[in-house]
């Protein structure tokens, strides 16, 4: 027989502990902190440029000078890391994706500019070819196939250029086989022994990425879907195997993506591997919250906080969220 965890009624009245804010605060099992937040931002060309992203109300693309300002504000708020996504001009997209490892591409220029002004905020990057690919895919396409090993070679060049520019956290989001080992080996050989890798390890082929592809201007270019490299939404075990593999190949941290629809994975990854585990609350999750809030159907601020707390409860160490500045302000103002 199982030991009884609680005394029977009336000795036990669980509501005693829920009666006042003070008591609720005492028994709260976890905290959401500003230090748990990573803020993904979109970078565009020019100076003083702000462009709205129609499918993500409240999210904007900023030119490098304004990204530096945004990084400074995030740092002031206590947000530990910012993640850069470039909007690449269609004229720079090629089948060979060469712009991806141009030391002076938009993303690398943004890294240098932020490092020069806000050296203490950690800069995370995206390692995937889709912003630079005329085919819109994360890997190189040849005869209709996303070829793995040549893609990995290209991704390694891209990762090295980002490390060289000063990135603190590389975020391979491409889902090619063996890319973590290849990047880690190349980083070591180039002397970038401190550059960390947060692999998008359990990344699912998701319709929740739709608004993001608009934000980086990749939706027009993409032919077909990403199902030959991103995971099937029904496959949890395969997601766990991917995490195990990326860790064995040298990832320092792992990510589950999307976030809320895959909270089971977050929990299983943390429980099984006990490594730094992150979730990405992706563009579609953001858009759904904003849309419902704009219609007055939900309280946007409360749903934002509850959605972020869910990641903590599931075991995540942190979360990438477009809501990071809003959440940080809310947390700093005190949250009950």
Catalytic residues: 203, 257
Q: Rank residues 195 and 206 by Cβ distance to ligand PBG and give the closer one.
A: 206
Q: Which residue has the tokens 């699912």?
A: 204
Do the beta carbons of residue 120 and residue 76 sit within 8 Å?
no
Using CB under 6 A as the binding rule, the residues of this chain from 264 to 323 that contact ligand PBG are 282-283
Stretch that binds ligand PBG, among 113-121, 125-133, 139-147, 233-241 (CB under 6 A): 125-133
Nearest distance from C-beta of residue 245 to ligand PBG, angstroms: 18
Q: Based on CB atoms, which residue is closest to ligand PBG, 36 or 130?
A: 130
- Residues in 140-179 at the binding interface with ligand PBG, rule: CB under 6 A: 173
Residue 317 beta carbon to ligand PBG: minimum distance, rounded to whole angstroms: 19
Size of the site for ligand PBG (CB under 6 A): 11
Residues 129, 175: contact at Cβ < 8 Å? no
Chain residue whose CB lies nearest ligand PBG: 212
CB of 209 to ligand PBG, least distance (A): 4
Residue ranges in 207-226 that form contacts with ligand PBG under rule CB under 6 A: 209, 212-213, 226
The whole-angstrom separation of Cα 98 and Cα 286 is: 31
Q: How many CA atoms lie within 13 Å of 122's alpha carbon, on the beta-carbon side?
A: 19
Are 123 and 166 in contact by the 8 Å Cβ rule? The answer is yes
Longest dimension (CA), the chain: 73
Cβ-proximal residues to 138 (8 Å cutoff; 6+ apart), any chain: 128, 129, 130, 146, 151, 173, 174, 175, 176, 226, 229
Which range, of 11-19, 126-134, 289-297, 303-311, touches ligand PBG by CB under 6 A?
126-134
For position 229 contacting ligand PBG by CB under 6 A, the verdict is no
Binding segment for ligand PBG (CB under 6 A), chosen from 100-108, 183-191, 205-213, 266-274, is: 205-213
Q: Which of 74, 99, 107, 126 binds ligand PBG (CB under 6 A)?
A: 126
Nearer residue to ligand PBG within complex by CB, 277 or 283: 283
Q: How far apart are CA 128 and CA 206, in angstroms?
A: 16
Burial of 1 per CB tally in 10 Å (0-12, 13-18, 19+): exposed
Q: DSSP H helical segments within the chain, as ranges?
A: 21-27, 64-77, 106-117, 148-165, 179-189, 210-215, 236-249, 263-273, 283-294, 300-314, 324-333
The reply on whether position 130 binds ligand PBG by CB under 6 A is yes
Cis peptide upstream of residue 290 (ω within 30 degrees of 0): no
Q: Which is nearer to ligand PBG, 80 or 136 (CB)?
A: 136
| Span of 144-152, 160-168, 206-214, 239-247 interacting with ligand PBG by CB under 6 A | 206-214
178: CB partners within 8 A, 6+ apart: 148, 149, 152, 249
Residue list 59-88, contact with ligand PBG (CB under 6 A): none
Q: Which residues bind ligand PBG (CB under 6 A)?
A: 126, 128, 130, 138, 173, 209, 212-213, 226, 282-283
């Amino acid at each position: 027989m199982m030991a009884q965890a609680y005394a029977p009624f009336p000795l036990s009245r669980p509501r005693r502990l829920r009666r006042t804010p003070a008591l609720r605060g005492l028994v709260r099992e976890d905290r959401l902190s500003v230090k748990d937040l990573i803020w993904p931002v979109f970078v565009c060309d020019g100076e003083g440029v702000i462009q709205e992203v129609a499918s993500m109300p409240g999210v904007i693309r900023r030119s490098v000078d304004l990204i530096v300002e945004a990084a400074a504000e995030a740092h002031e708020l206590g947000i530990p890391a910012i993640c850069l996504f470039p909007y690449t001009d269609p004229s720079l997209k090629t089948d060979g994706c060469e712009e991806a490892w141009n030391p002076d591409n938009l993303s690398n220029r943004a890294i240098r500019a932020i490092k020069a002004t806000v050296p203490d905020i950690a800069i995370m990057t995206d390692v995937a070819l889709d912003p630079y690919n005329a085919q819109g895919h994360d890997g190189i396409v040849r005869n209709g196939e996303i070829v793995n090993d040549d893609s990995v070679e290209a991704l390694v060049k891209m990762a090295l250029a980002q490390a060289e520019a000063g990135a603190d956290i590389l975020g391979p989001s491409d889902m090619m086989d063996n890319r973590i080992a290849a990047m880690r080996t190349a980083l070591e050989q180039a002397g970038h022994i401190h550059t960390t890798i947060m692999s998008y390890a359990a990344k699912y082929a998701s319709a929740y990425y739709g608004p993001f592809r608009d934000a980086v201007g990749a939706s027009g270019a993409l032919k077909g879907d990403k199902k030959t490299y991103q995971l099937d939404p029904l496959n949890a075990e395969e997601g766990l195997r991917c995490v195990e593999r990326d860790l064995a190949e040298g990832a320092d941290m792992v990510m589950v993506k999307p976030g809320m629809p895959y909270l089971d994975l977050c929990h299983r990854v943390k429980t099984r591997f006990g490594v730094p585990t992150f979730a990405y609350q992706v563009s579609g999750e953001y858009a759904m919250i904003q849309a419902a809030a704009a219609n007055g159907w939900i309280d946007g601020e409360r749903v934002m906080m509850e959605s972020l707390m869910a990641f903590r409860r599931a075991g995540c160490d942190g979360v990438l969220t477009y809501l990071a500045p809003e959440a940080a302000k809310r947390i700093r103002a005190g949250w009950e």
